[in-house]
Amino acid sequence: MGHPAHHRRADDPLPLAADRHDAPARGDALKILVVGAGVAGLTAAADLARRGADVTILERAASHGGKMRHVMVDGRGIDGGPTVFTMRWIFEGLFADAGESLSDHLGVYSTNVLARHAWRAGGRLDLFADIEASVQAIGDFAGAADARGYREFCARAAAIYRTLEGSFIGAEKPSQLDLVRRVGLSRLGELWRTAPFRSMWSALGDHFSDPRLRQLFGRYATYVGASPWFAPATLMLVAHVEQDGVWLVQGGMRAVADALRGLAERQGVRLRCGADVTRIIIEGGRAKGVELANGERLMADAVLFNGDAAALPSLGAPGPKPAQRSLSAITWCVNAPTSGFDLAHHNVFFAEDYAEEFRAIFNRREVTAAPTIYICAQDRGLQPPPPGTPERLLLLINAPADGDSRDFNASDYIERTHSLLASCGLHIGEGSAVATTPSGFNALFPTTGGALYGMASHGATATLRRSGARGKIPGLYLAGGSVHPGPGVPMAAMSGRLAAARLLEDAAGRSTSVGFAPGRHSR
């Protein structure tokens, strides 16, 4: 890691069809319907079409992108979904496999400050792309022992990542036995040290005595919609992912979705927005097509579903067993001036009792009185906006995924949010805002309750319980943040690549395992 790289398919190239940039597709190409134009759907479609398939994406919304959406406030587009761009190698490999360069279609630049943190009880801390700079900052913030603990924590996170990168992240969903086999008997000690049977919060105590640092790094569990008290310590690998590069995107994260759409369409993919799929057609025990809300029936050789796997039963297809939902959120896309606190691009504001936040959400199904607040200051990059001028902000607090069973009123949570920010020194002036609650996210992504990460990654085997690329019936394939390898923009892209590769392997009558890894090309 740490340098541009590409992936490869773990198996030999399929004889199904030539790559589109090498030769035209065959006339008898597989006909594939992709349901959903999120990151995974766009990625899968690009790979499928590149390999010669006839691909149509059906998107319920008026535009592509899925959760990677733009919200218009005062005529300005604000990213209202994912805001962190990491694991750049996944996207570089996707474009390279199509004979293109990511940099020709997406402007990204690294940032020195990974995130800025502040506590209501006192203290501010920046994490830096340079580990030694962070060691120095943590030493000044919490003392020499915790600075040493941070260096050890980084080494541990990197080791976990190295163990799981090829065996889990870039490979098909494994069983526990498969994971052992992939890692190798000679490396079982490394697999054990990924600490799946310890909670993240417990493992962080090995490295940090200052509770504020355990808050800061425990928050990585929320990247997959989980509580650090129930998420496995394995998720400490997120720290290494960020340390390896957090990139700022010219045009915001919406530009990532635009680049993926462009790649897919250059491979010959057709995108139909406003196409609401209400049923997956199953004939003879096999997925054979879809039916739209307007009654139109579209038939295909296979259906690739890019949505929350929990929604499959509502479409007449078998889905996973019900599981505890991940976190939802209340967000505000804001266009307003700020003062009193020098924002970075990524900012986090903490209260004192972190455990109470997750007891409130997962036990009492409510938002705590003093929630952790994440702010993406989207105009803070190479040059901050002039003082006193409106800037684009995404404010987010965690909430229970109950948007399908009760209403949430965002105004009920404004005072507690602004109060905590003010106690940390940040004041947001008069401006315009658009709020989205769990109810709103459920309307955007039906049957999820507003859960933004699929099932909650709680317990040692939670990640292994996620659905894989194959659905429960032939002809149905799954991709997106609710399936393996998990939520997040790069993981969703990887799931799309895995689903496309699995579909093509099955179509060719082969059961060879598929996978991708940095540093090597695929076909």
Q: What is the pLDDT of residues 355-374, one digit of tens each?
A: 999 999 999 999 999 999 99
C-alpha 376/C-alpha 82 separation (Å) is 10
C-alpha 299/C-alpha 297 separation (Å) is 7
Nearest 5°: CA angle at 225, between 221 and 230? 55
C-alpha 404/C-alpha 438 separation (Å) is 8
Is 2 inside any structural domain?
no
C-alpha 522/C-alpha 516 separation (Å) is 8
Domain match, 165 and 210 both: yes
Domain match, 148 and 240 both: yes
Is 466 inside any structural domain?
yes
Domain match, 269 and 235 both: no
Strands 286-292 and 297-299, sheet pairing: antiparallel
Is 185 inside any structural domain?
yes
Is 426 inside any structural domain?
no
Domain match, 281 and 239 both: no
Q: What is the model's pLDDT at position 18?
A: 33
Domain match, 199 and 286 both: no
Q: How far is CA 495 from CA 213, 264, 433, 475, 508, in A?
A: 32, 16, 33, 17, 20
Token pair, residue 439, equals: 């109810």
C-alpha 229/C-alpha 238 separation (Å) is 16
Largest CA distance in the chain: 67
Distance of CA 69 to the CA centre of its chain: 13
**Would you place residue 461 in the very low, low, confident or very high pLDDT band (cuts 50, 70, 90)?**
confident
Domain match, 197 and 222 both: yes
pLDDT (tens digit, 9 = 90+) per residue, 376-435? Answer: 999 998 678 898 999 999 999 999 999 999 999 999 999 999 999 999 999 999 999 999
Name the domain boundary from 201, 220, 244: 244
Is 468 inside any structural domain?
yes
- The dihedral of CA 31, 486, 19, 502: what is its sign? negative
pTM of the model: 0.92
Is 402 inside any structural domain?
no
Q: What is the model's pLDDT at position 25?
A: 42
Q: What is the model's pLDDT at position 460?
A: 84
pLDDT (tens digit, 9 = 90+) per residue, 167-185? Answer: 888 989 876 665 656 666 5
Domain match, 161 and 199 both: yes
Domain match, 181 and 227 both: yes
**Would you place residue 512 in the very low, low, confident or very high pLDDT band (cuts 50, 70, 90)?**
confident
**CATH number of residue 35's parent domain:** 3.50.50.60
Examine the pLDDT at 495 and tell me if it is beyond 60.
yes
Domain match, 174 and 98 both: no
Hey, is 128 helix, strand or coil?
A: strand
Name the domain boundary from 189, 219, 244: 244
- 292 forms bridges with which residues in the sheet? 277
Those residues with Cβ within 8 angstroms of residue 90's Cβ, 6 or more apart along the chain or in another chain: 7, 490, 493, 494, 497, 516
Nearest to 493 by CA among 477, 478, 479, 476: 479
Is 485 inside any structural domain?
yes
C-alpha 505/C-alpha 519 separation (Å) is 22
Domain count across the chain: 2
Domain range for 194 is: 144-244
Domain match, 227 and 256 both: no
Is 419 inside any structural domain?
no
C-alpha 435/C-alpha 334 separation (Å) is 9
Domain match, 168 and 189 both: yes
Name the domain boundary from 244, 260, 280: 244
Hey, is 155 helix, strand or coil?
A: helix
- Report DSSP state, residue 470: B
pLDDT (tens digit, 9 = 90+) per residue, 39-67? Answer: 999 999 999 999 999 999 999 999 999 99
Q: What integer best gives the mean pLDDT of the chain?
A: 91
Q: Residue 328 class from Cβ within 10 Å (0-12 exposed, 13-18 middle, 19+ buried)?
A: buried
Domain match, 239 and 256 both: no
- 298 forms bridges with which residues in the sheet? 290
Examine the pLDDT at 131 and tell me if it is beyond 80.
yes
